A and B are shown apart, each in its own frame.
Chain A
């Protein structure tokens, strides 16, 4: 389900986001955030000062 919208007078058409596009975007963003959280833990992990 989607809608084709004509934007401007130069023959440019923009397709509005449909629910499948939003689903894909949300899935991608969710996993990316998860990876960012892991990256944060990796950056701040400091084994030198732990357990010494």
Chain B
């Protein structure tokens, strides 16, 4: 009888497990479908087109890679940008995204699936979003089990913060980098849990892929050492920790140095020093652990005192050498971007280009609710769940959420790094809730059905359950306890011994644990309410994907009583440039439009979105801020033929150059002191109406934006600034208008040729000059 009972239980258990696996597989499949399909709104509402600005550069680079091969790509010097400086593409681009899409295109073409490069680039991000969801499942499974993994993957598939950077068409580094980030963290935790050198090696390779993909890899190489330090400091050092960390530092650094854009920065910049410092510390901890094992406690104390004394002296010397090495650098070895993260006020004080980028601004409080919605208040519950019980993996998750929450508060674009952590924490919280509720429902169902096999078990613990219901004490699930115990095993060789120990501990847990069971009605209502909460989250995510984050930026739309209007002025302008200018003509514009101009118009630009040369950008900013003649001189010195400005005053497009103009003034004034911001402000206010300063009204940007604007409505009302312009009737002396798009959004001007003969005035000026050398002291360097 007993044997058949055990067989029945075993059969039931295996059936349960098989059914659970089937549901798990189906859920993961549907999560992948959801992650892909929710990102297709931009393709359905607009078209299959590359979005924004940076993706156009990535698209152009991918085209080059596919056309010319990888060796030409590594050695590519691009002379069509940053004229006359050029740009070394191979050494300044993170190649991960390009190589991934290129490999995908090559693979599909080898299967005779002739997709265009543009199509592959457009759909790379949704594909990798599905991969990122599966990676989140794997990572959360290592932390808290399969149920939490499924919940976390569901959240990540739809979280608006991630959707904003991975819609179809958003062909940017983050599209693949977030997948690489999560997968690297998963492999780190997997190595931490298993102590396997195989996973450690995979971890290093995954880190290499992350380094290839995004500059945000510095987050990984600082977070993991922080976690290792935390484990050592809290007495959780183990050989698994060593296997998880040491190979990553050595292999990872060597592989990172192979990426041209990183190169020797992997060992020279301060972003990487934490990993080396912790590498030393973990060896010290390992040595201490070993010595402690072989010495008696008294001898160990003596040895420790001696070692600490000598060690302190060595450490102080080493730190002094390090400080001296980095003190020579004004930024102490940190890059500008890293410093602006560590000190949120740094960029606004010292690097106006970083401060001027809208996605580098701190987020507002509502943007947290917009980008992570319901997860914002599930995260604290997840943090608490990670403490119950605390494991190496869950302590890593706590560190991840805390650091990413801080950085997301510094820059709105780093909400993207917070999103996976928030999803994992929320998944853990939701899974814990479901554990209690589903267990309660099953327990109450078994009780009411009078199941004999379960009744015996129930009566034996009936008292404790009753007591727990009254006291509502904390609950521990068997899975979690077993998992906690298994992750504390030091190595596979002592598995049997550890198993005996774990069983002893488990028995102790069984005696001490209390079961939290809720009444059936409460459980069912709670499940319904949580499904409703989930429904709100799904609805918000779908709305955000459809309405907020699907716009391609290159094409604008508006709805009115007449229907929908499409503003395709940008492509109209680039197309005009492509068909009406010579191949070698240089185009000057603010850096925002550089990538699009080179990719779509195929023309050489002066500055672009890479913003690597502040002086060159300041030169263009100074030209835009100067009067017509001075601006013409500056552009003439740069061989510029055409100037492009974006103007939104006719249709009410707010992201135009007039709204960005103050940044041009600040950046220009940062390098050329004769440009002063105060000259463009009236009583501290930025104005373009009749109260605007003469400097503002005479600036090139003002003139090129408002030239002939009075002809549109007879009054010259700027719909963005909401006022009549100050200077309505004027002529251009050094520029001529060659093209204005249908809605006046993009205006292109040609530089007039220099005059052929010297005029009489200049001869008179030379003859009246007392010094006779024809020169006078000037502040403006172009005079």
Contacts and interface: CB of A to CB of B under 8 A. Distances in A.
A3 to B, nearest CB: 10
Q: In which size bucket is the chain B interface?
A: 35 or more
Nearest to B154: A33
A22 B44 contact: yes
B100 interface: no
A33 B27 contact: yes
Contact of A22 (B41, B478, B514): B41
Nearest to A35: B531
Contacts of B453: 48
Contact of A44 (B16, B30, B454): B16
A43 B44 contact: no
Interface string A6-43: 00000000000111001101110111111111111111
Contacts of A38: 434, 438, 527, 530-531
Contacts of A19: 41, 44-45, 546
B69 interface: no
A42 B445 CA distance: 12
Contacts of A43: 16, 19-20, 23
Given A29-B34, A43-B20, A37 B442 contact: no
A31 B541 CA distance: 12
Given A26-B37, A39-B23, A41-B435, A47 B517 contact: yes
A40 B150 contact: yes
Contacts of A42: 438, 441-442
A1 B517 CA distance: 51
Contact of B535 (A31, A39, A49, A50): A31
Contact of A51 (B431, B461, B531): B461
B601 interface: no
B510 A52 contact: yes
A40 B24 CA distance: 7
A31 B158 contact: no
A35 B630 CA distance: 67
Interface in B10-42: 16-17, 19-20, 23-24, 26-27, 30-31, 33-34, 37-38, 40-41
A45 interface: yes
A44 B31 CA distance: 20
B460 A52 contact: yes
B37 A30 contact: no
A39 B531 CA distance: 12
A41 B158 CA distance: 21
A38 B530 CA distance: 10
B377 to A, nearest CB: 17
Contact of B438 (A29, A31, A33, A45): A45
A50 B464 CA distance: 12
B30 A26 contact: no
B95 interface: no
A30 B158 contact: yes
B531 A31 contact: yes
Task: Say whether chain A's binding surface is mostly helix, strand, loop, or mixed.
Answer: helix
A45 B26 CA distance: 19
Interface in B435-482: 435, 437-443, 446, 453-454, 457-458, 460-461, 464-465, 468, 475, 477-478
Contacts of B440: 47
B20 A40 contact: yes
A27 B37 contact: no
A52 B457 contact: yes
A41 to B, nearest CB: 4
B44 A41 contact: no
Contacts of A51: 461, 464-465, 468, 475, 510, 513-515
B420 interface: no
B697 interface: no
A18 B461 CA distance: 57
Contacts of B34: 26, 29-30, 33
Contacts of A40: 20, 23-24, 27, 146-147, 150
B301 interface: no
Interface string B145-161: 01100110010011000
B247 to A, nearest CB: 35
B44 A17 contact: yes
Interface in B415-444: 430-431, 434-435, 437-443
Contacts of A35: 531
A25 to B, nearest CB: 7
Contact of A26 (B19, B437, B545): B545
A40 to B, nearest CB: 5
B542 A34 contact: no
Contacts of B437: 41
B39 to A, nearest CB: 10
Contacts of B33: 29
Contacts of B23: 36, 39-40, 43
B541 A30 contact: yes
B538 interface: yes
Contacts of B438: 38, 41-42, 45
Contacts of B16: 43-44, 46
Most chain-A Cβ atoms within 10 A of its Cβ — which of B26, B45, B150, B564? Answer: B150
Nearest to B158: A30
A26 to B, nearest CB: 5
Interface in B574-628: none
B546 A23 contact: yes
Contacts of B543: 23
A34 B154 contact: yes
B694 interface: no
B539 interface: yes
Nearest to B435: A41
A37 B23 CA distance: 8
A29 B37 contact: yes
A19 to B, nearest CB: 5
A38 B531 CA distance: 9
A37 B517 contact: no
B534 interface: yes
B30 A36 contact: yes
Given A22-B546, A38-B530, A44-B147, 6 more contacts: A22-B44, A30-B34, A34-B154, A35-B531, A43-B20, A51-B514
Complex A-B, nearest 3 residue pairs according to Cβ-Cβ distance, in ascending order: A51-B515, A30-B538, A47-B443
Interface of A: 1, 17-19, 22-23, 25-27, 29-52
Interface of B: 16-17, 19-20, 23-24, 26-27, 30-31, 33-34, 37-38, 40-41, 44-45, 146-147, 150-151, 154, 157-158, 430-431, 434-435, 437-443, 446, 453-454, 457-458, 460-461, 464-465, 468, 475, 477-478, 510, 513-515, 517, 527, 530-531, 534-535, 537-539, 541-543, 545-546, 564
25 contacts: A19-B546, A26-B542, A27-B539, A30-B538, A31-B535, A33-B157, A36-B26, A37-B150, A37-B154, A37-B430, A38-B438, A40-B27, A40-B150, A41-B435, A41-B437, A42-B442, A43-B23, A44-B17, A45-B441, A46-B442, A48-B454, A48-B457, A50-B439, A51-B513, A51-B514
